[in-house]
Structure 1
Amino acid sequence: MQFRKSVLAAAIISTTALLTACEGDDGATGADGQDLTAGQVSLVQVGRFAVDDNEFDESAAEIVAYDPASARVFVVNAQQSSVDVLDLQDPANPTKQATLDATVQWADAGAINSVSVSGGLVAVAVEHDTKTSNGRVQIYNAADLQFRGEVEVGALPDMLTFTPDGTKILVANEGEPNGDYSIDPEGTVSIVDATDPDNPAVESVSFADFNVGGSRADELPEDVRVFGNFGRSELAVTAFTDTDPASVTVDDASAVVAGSWLTIASTEGDPLPYRVASVAGNTITLTTDFDGDTEVAAAGVAGLTVYLHDGQSSVAQDFEPEYVAVSPDGSEAWVTLQENNAVAVVDIAQASVKSIVALGTKNHGIPGNELDVSDKDDAVNITSWPVKGMYMPDSIKAIEINGEVYYLTANEGDAREYDAFVEEIRFEDAPLADVAPFNLGQWDFTDETGVGRLTTTLTADTDGDGELDQALAFGGRSFSILNSAGQMIADSGSQFEVITANLLGDDFNNDNDENSGDSRSDAKGPEPEAIEAARINGHTYAFIGLERTGGIMVYDISNPYSPEYVQYLNNRDFDYAIEDDIDDGSEPAHAAGDLGPESILYVSAADAPGDRPLLIVGNEVSGTTTIYEIR
């Protein structure tokens, strides 16, 4: 891979806060060899827990929580549908003590998705074995691991957290649809009263009032994405021609017209979207041939199903609460609605929605917001492109700075992909409307070494004619800071890509399950996933985990309007042959270092077993729990 040096230099110059950190005039060097701003904290890895029988990329270490009284770390092991309990009395040598198994109390328990600890209690979010059915929150003692109580919550409880006083548990119930979109549960937020952990009580916060015709429908911001395919038409395939363009004959094509979009699901390949060129009787001619990833020929007629994009989930069905941050005073919760590119603000005492905040888009065409858009150019090419990034945050964190409350978001991005609905498509494969920037002639949206390779969304078709009217991209490739009024006051812009390009070189924008540089430039780049914040020695810091490239970014956010880069730490071995030696099972999942940081937890010096504050990171692809000292 080659650096396009002039372009990269321009990106660095436009990101003025990074001049010292990236070019090293006054910077120090951290223990990991990465650049470090002088006079700031640094992370140093001191311990790591991994077991050799963890399967690679099967989420053996996701969410982490800590109990200071017992010095135990609770780690969600989604691979085993359990929580691993680690002894952290010696942070350099964490050891496994026990396991919490949700199925002991509930026979229908499916995956465990989240864990949180407060006041000696451990709360666990457990989805139903049928993910569209209601899940549960289970409560245990942290000291003796005894079960205390459980309560039913919404469908697919994805994340939970205690309020600061430990009396309530806030749960984001994602409510994802099933694969064929015949069921789409409503997304909700549960407020669990845990004052009597043996008999927890629950209130549910609904979004139904924001549905069309609902009492608060007019309050829903116009640019909140609502696009689910519940109620879609399912068309049985009776024949197909694997030609260019391809065609499918179905049992009833009466609802299909030219310009419609279909998702074709195959038992042998990935579901993919296709546009209709024409319809004759029950034969549908597509605008293209079949993508090889669909593997139509291998599936045959019996292995294909066609779904028409003609359904419409309600607002409540379409909202999928992802992550919760509770304000420091415990009065309100901010809940990310990742796929909807929005945040819901919840009044905890009233168990009601105060407002929906639309996050809007990020202009990648201006200095400071550059990005690399292609995995086919064999180069680091961080430059301006005429696209708008949808922030679409995953995790969110509340922090008080100088008496004001702020919310930090990790702007990952996430596309919907189900058998009955796939929204993601590349610009080079999409029909584009005769509007700017597509018709300006300055950029070639068919060039796979440039912006043509970037993934976009079918929801950019704003007038329903089957052509994309906007140049949208998934995720912000950044972290943002919002004030308590919902205004975005800072964003890290292109800094994550600029920093990793400078420090990792050819390994920039790597995926988390293989070592192949530049492989994620076309799809969300470094993909910020986890975020944490802490007050240390008079400064406030943000810690951001990059899910794909890996590693932890550290920023000083003492001035929330002007965050300063401090350090990037990554213990990954980019030379390791992951595909050959780990993916085939011959080496343990952790052999190449930490892969796929999913959660980050700060432990203060007062609560830590030693005399230094700690950062605990759960890495889902490598199945490792890593302990850092903050020095």
Structure 2
Amino acid sequence: MELCKAVLTASILSATLGLAACAGNNASHSAGQAMDGDSPARISLVQIGRYASDDNEFDESAAEIVAYDPDSRQAFVVNAQQGALDVLDLSDPRAPRKTATLAASAHWRDAGAINSVSVAGGRVAVAVENREKTETGRVQIYSADDLSFLGQAEVGALPDMLTFTPDGHHLLVANEGEPNADYSVDPEGSVSLIDASEPGRPVVTTIGFADFNRDGTRANELPAEVRVFGNYGRTELMITGYSDQEPATLTVEDAYRVNPGMWLTVASSEGDPIPYQVASVSGNRITLTTGFDGDTEAGDSDTRLRAFLHDGASSVAQDLEPEYIAVSPDGAEAWVTLQENNAVAVIDIEQARVRRIIALGTKDHSLPGNELDVSDKDDGVNIANWPVLGMYQPDTIASAAVGGEVYYLMANEGDARAYDGFVEEIRFADAPLADNGFFGQADFTDKRGVGRLLTTLTADRNRDGELDEPLAYGARSFSIWSADGEQVFDSGSQFEAITADRLGDDFNNDNDENSGDSRSDAKGPEPEAIETGHIGGHTYAFIGLERTGGIMIYDISRPGQSMFVDYVNNRDFSYDIEDRIDDGNAPAYAAGDLGPESILFVPAAQAPGEHPLLLVGNEVSGTTTIYEVRQGAH
């Protein structure tokens, strides 16, 4: 396979985005090419306000999820840095002002972080995790008017996101149920359905996934493509000694369960946990296939190593981790992203049960229109087709009614599991690859090419120690799905192409440093937040790019032929973040807004002024930014 290395230039980035990876290689309509001379309806974003607290620290999550109450004209912003909810007066959106702080700990002594907020009917609901994140969490309800506490309900472990149904009577909560660090505890993921019509006495119904376990009554309904790979029940190898040689060795108390070809994660008292493969076993001495990675921090006399064999068996219910929820406009169903599992659960709200689970499959980056840059070591923009398959793994999801049909929009961020007790990430160049057609199409050992790209150990389908598929995290795009589970649109390579055209070598930048192309080997721009809005007879999607920053705008009035409208990014890529912000010599937002985590569209009828608003919570800069949405180009 000859890889096309041509950089996408401005000449092929017109408003219609008839993208090409190289001469004569046109993107399909599903990647957003305009049809029959059509062009998207123009809108523009004009920044009019920004809020950052006086004690705002850089990269400490001082602004994450944003909700809005139209009656009181207040915004409610999750401030994870303070473990609280900031209340902002938006009567004058050009000068937002904090008027109060709500602390979950005032009403629950075991309160940990606040993870999400939603507003409906004058009530504010917040999702609060337990100080021990593997224990049950809470949903607290407040009055939006006077901020009085109304009530709370016990929900599942790690409630990560919540949303009201359109009628405001019920809440849906995504209980992620993440494991603890060494994977000795792995709570079941679930969805809580809360009847909040009487907020002082909320009634909780738990919607779980135990029926889909291997011995469950619905086990045969779980698609085989759904990733179930948790390491609960793993074997911890008690290390009595090690040698940081090439290859490295571990001496353990008992190695009887360890066989050549198996994988284990080594975690050190300092540094990141790293997966290693076993080359051989002699008595209680384990020889690895490589030396220790520098991040393992081995060799220091004070370093303590722990090793965990990849032999766990989390149940389906433990392994499914609900991330985000979108409710259909009629309130009949909800789609729940299962990000790490690369799947979606469809919930029947009236019946309070899982209707079905949809495996999202993969995106073929070898096809025209699906190009990507795979290396952060190639000295610039290098968007091309590569023989890898991107797992969609959406984070945020939103619903929209367009032309009488319901659609679901997903921000295809990608995510990997990385714990002391289990790490799945490995680079292609460092992984043993099966001798099959997938890996014969390119040099997967080239660390300036596809070998630099991160993949997953779960690509070892037959568990023989070799990866069988060229899987990559995320799809670097947003996609639109019909209510019956069919993908009708994907933005293909447009996010990387547009940011490369606008930003040059600063594309695929990380969100906490201005160092140029530093994320191509991981998940690229990482689409994180997504929201929809209806303006002037058109429906739009707004997508926040977590790493590169900025907001993508698409006209989705015809979902299958959705078209790019604009890209807005107020980030200053020339600013020295490391020296001036990290050292505390400048405010956290000195380089602009960094790390958009959530987007909220406020229709003109509910906004303080005459224009719709877009409220953006930026996690790294800790800023809540207010845009006016204006019709026509600005």
Interval containing the TM-score (normalised by the shorter chain) = over 0.9
Structure 1 alignment gaps of length 5 or more:
23-36
Change (3 A) 1:11 1:89: closer
Within 1, Cα distance between the matches of 2:374 and 2:162? 34
Residue matched to 1:536: 535
Kept in 2, the 8 Å contact 1:157–1:171? The answer is yes
Task: Provide Cα deviations, 1:531-564, integer angstroms capped at 9, x if missing partner.
Answer: 0001100000000000000000000000000110
Q: Give the corresponding residue for 2:225.
A: 223
* Superposition pairs of residues 187-206 of structure 1, within 5 angstroms: 187-206=189-208
Q: Distance in 1 between matches of 2:119 and 2:587?
A: 30
8 Å contact from structure 2 (residues 392, 474) kept in 1: yes
1:75 is aligned, of 77, 80, 83, to 77
On the 8 A contact 2:5/2:382 being kept in 1, the answer is no
Work out which of the residue numbers 245, 250, 253 in structure 1 matches 2:252: 250
* Runs (4+) off by over 3 Å: 9-17, 19-22
Whether the 8 Å CA contact 1:552–1:568 is kept in 2: the answer is yes
Q: Secondary structure in 2 aligned to 1:42?
A: strand
- Pairwise CA distance, 1:53: 1.9
Cross-structure match for 1:33: none
DSSP 3-state at the match of 1:444: coil
| CA deviation string 1:600-622 (max 9, x = no partner) | 00000000001110000000000
Task: Measure, in 2, the Cα distance between the counterparts of 1:86 and 1:629.
Answer: 17
SS at the partner of 1:86? strand
**CA distance in structure 2 between the aligned counterparts of 1:39 and 1:320, rounded to whole angstroms:** 37
> Which residue of structure 1 lines up, in the alignment, with residue 599 of structure 2?
600
State the partner residue of 1:364.
Answer: 365
CA separation of 1:16/1:72 partners in 2, compared to 1, >3 Å: closer, same or farther?
closer
Q: Which amino acid is 1:462 matched to?
A: R
- Partner secondary structure for residue 43 of structure 2: coil
| 1:465 equivalenced with 2:464 (yes/no) | yes
Q: In the TM superposition, what whole-angstrom CA distance separates every residue of 1:407-461 from its partner, at most 9, and x where no partner exists?
A: 00000000000000000000011011111222x2x41111111000000000000
Distance 1:415 1:156 in 2: 18
Alpha-carbon contact 2:8-2:383 (below 8 Å) kept: no
- Whether 1:380 aligns to 2:381 is yes
**Native 8 Å contact 2:41 2:538 kept in 1:** no
Residue of structure 1 equivalent to 2:235: 233
2:140 maps to 138
Q: Do structure 1's residue 54 and structure 2's residue 56 form an aligned pair? A: yes
Deviation at residue 585 of structure 1 after TM alignment: 1.8
Letter in 1 for 2:539: T
Alpha carbons of 1:12 and 1:430: their partners in 2 closer, same or farther (altered >3 Å)?
farther
- 1:89 aligns with 91
Alignment match, 1:489? 488
Whether the aligned pair in 2 keeps the contact of 1:341 and 1:360 (CA below 8 Å) is yes
The alpha carbon displacement at 1:43 in A equals 0.5
Paired with 2:121 and 2:564, the residues of 1 have a C-alpha distance of 34
Structure 2 distance, partners of 1:296, 1:189, is 41
Question: 1:436-455 alignment to 2 at 5 Å?
Answer: 436-438=437-439, 440=440, 442-455=441-454
For 2:553, the aligned partner's letter is: V
For 1:150 and 1:21, how far apart are their aligned partners in 2? Answer: 53
Distance 2:499 2:301 in 1: 41
Q: Say if 1:11 and 1:250 are closer, same or farther in 2 by CA, change over 3 A.
A: farther
Contact map agreement 1:12 1:19 (CA 8 A) in 2: no
In structure 2, the CA distance between the partners of 1:253 and 1:350, relative to structure 1 (3 Å rule), is: same
AA paired with 2:65? I
In 2, the alpha carbon distance for the partners of 1:237 and 1:11 equals: 56
User: Residues 1-16 of structure 1: matches in 2 within 5 Å?
Assistant: 7-9=6-8
Cα distance, 1:385–1:12 mapped onto 2, change above 3 Å? farther
1:52-201 to structure 2, matched below 5 A, reads 52-201=54-203
Q: Aligned letter for 1:563? A: S
Unpaired runs of 5+ residues, structure 2, are 22-38
Q: Which residue of 1 aligns with 2:26?
A: none
SS at match of 1:339: coil
Mapped partners of 2:534, 2:301: distance in 1: 56
Instruction: Give the counterpart letter for 1:598 in structure 2.
Output: E
**CA drift at 1:16:** 9.2
Aligned length: 611
Write the mapping of 1:208-219 to structure 2, written as runs, cut at 5 A: 208-219=210-221
CA contact 2:383–2:497 (8 Å) conserved in 1: yes
For residues 125-154 of structure 1, the C-alpha deviation after alignment (integer angstroms, 9 at most, x for no partner) is 000000000000000000000000000000
SS in 2 for 1:290: coil
In 2, distance between residues paired with 1:88 and 1:448?
Answer: 50
Q: Which residue of 2 aligns with 1:574?
A: 573
Using the alignment, how far apart are the partners of 1:369 and 1:272 within structure 2?
30
Verify the 8 A CA contact 2:12 2:20 in the aligned structure 1.
no
**Counterpart of 1:34?**
none
Q: 1:52 to 1:8 in 2, by over 3 A?
A: same
Mapped to 2, the partners of 1:584 and 1:186 lie a distance apart of 41
The superposition leaves residues 198-251 of structure 1 with CA deviations (integer Å, 9 ceiling, x where unpaired) of 111100001000000100000000100000000000011111111101101011
Q: 1:15–1:494: 8 Å Cα contact kept in structure 2?
A: no
Would the aligned equivalents of 1:539 and 1:556 in 2 still touch at CA under 8 Å? yes
Specify the alignment match of 2:311 in structure 1: 310
Q: Which residue number in structure 1 is paired with residue 427 of structure 2?
A: 426
Are 2:417 and 1:410 aligned?
A: no
Is contact 2:181–2:420 with CA below 8 Å preserved after alignment? yes
Asked whether the 8 Å contact 1:266–1:299 carries over to 2, the reply is no
Of the three residues 282, 285, 288, the one matched with 2:284 is 282
- Specify the SS of the correspondent of 2:571: coil
Amino acid at match of 1:162: F
**2:333 corresponds to which residue?**
332
> In the aligned structure 2, how far is the partner of 1:576 from the partner of 1:297?
37
Q: Which residue of structure 2 lines up, in the alignment, with residue 557 of structure 1?
A: 556
Residue 46 of structure 2 aligns to which amino acid in structure 1? V
Q: Give the whole-Å Cα distance in 1 for the aligned partners of 2:331 and 2:296.
A: 48
Distance 1:458 1:93, change over 3 A: same
The residue that corresponds to 2:31 in the other structure is none
CA contact (8 A) 2:116 2:126 kept: yes
Stretch of structure 1 that moved more, 558-567 or 583-592 = 583-592
**Distance verdict in 2 for CA 1:16–1:565, change over 3 Å:** closer
Aligned equivalents of 1:227, 1:20: Cα separation in 2: 37
- Contact 1:546–1:597 at 8 Å: present in 2 too? yes
Percentage of pairs with the same residue: 69
Could you tell me whether the CA contact under 8 Å between 2:327 and 2:335 is conserved in 1? yes
SS, match of residue 580 in structure 2: helix
Counterpart residue identity of residue 194, structure 2? V
Deviation of 1:19 (Å) = 4.3
Q: Following superposition of structure 1 onto structure 2, how do residues 251-270 of structure 1 map, counting pairs within 5 Å?
A: 251-270=253-272
Q: Would the aligned equivalents of 1:11 and 1:383 in 2 still touch at CA under 8 Å?
A: no
Correspondences of 1:511-530 after superposition (within 5 Å):
511-530=510-529
Q: CA separation in 1, counterparts of 2:207 and 2:5?
A: 51
8 Å contact from structure 2 (residues 19, 494) kept in 1: no
Specify the alignment match of 2:24 in structure 1.
none
CA contact (8 A) 2:19 2:369 kept: no
* Residues 38/406 of structure 1: CA separation in 2 closer, same or farther (3 Å cut): closer
Deviation at 1:56, TM superposition (A): 1.0
CA contact (8 A) 1:526 1:549 kept: yes
Deviations 1:317-352 (A, max 9, x none): 000000000000001110000000000000111110
In structure 2, what is the Cα distance between the partners aligned to 1:314 and 1:6? 43
Aligned counterpart, 1:392: 393
Task: Give SS of 1:125's match.
Answer: strand
Q: Say if 1:11 and 1:91 are closer, same or farther in 2 by CA, change over 3 A.
A: closer
1:409–1:479 CA contact under 8 A, matched in 2: yes
CA deviation map 1:550-582 (0-9, x unaligned) = 000000000000110000000001001101111
Instruction: Give 1:14 shift.
Output: 10
Cα contact 1:14–1:367 (8 A) shared by 2: no
Equivalent pair of 2:365/2:388 in contact (CA under 8 Å)? yes
Match of 1:135, as an amino acid?
Answer: G
8 Å CA contact retained: 1:268, 1:299: no
Q: Could you tell me whether the CA contact under 8 Å between 2:138 and 2:159 is conserved in 1?
A: yes
TM-superposed CA distance for 1:627, in Å, is 0.1
Cα offset, 1:64, TM superposition: 0.1
Check whether the contact 1:462–1:469 (CA below 8 A) recurs between aligned residues: yes
Provide the aligned C-alpha RMSD in A.
1.7
Distance 1:358 1:526, change over 3 A: same
Q: Secondary structure at the match of 2:128?
A: strand
Distance 1:14 1:39 in 2: 17
Give the conservation status (yes or no) of the 8 Å contact 1:11–1:368: no
Check 1:158–1:38 CA distance in 2 against 1; reply closer, same or farther (3 A cut): closer
Asked whether the 8 Å contact 1:53–1:588 carries over to 2, the reply is no
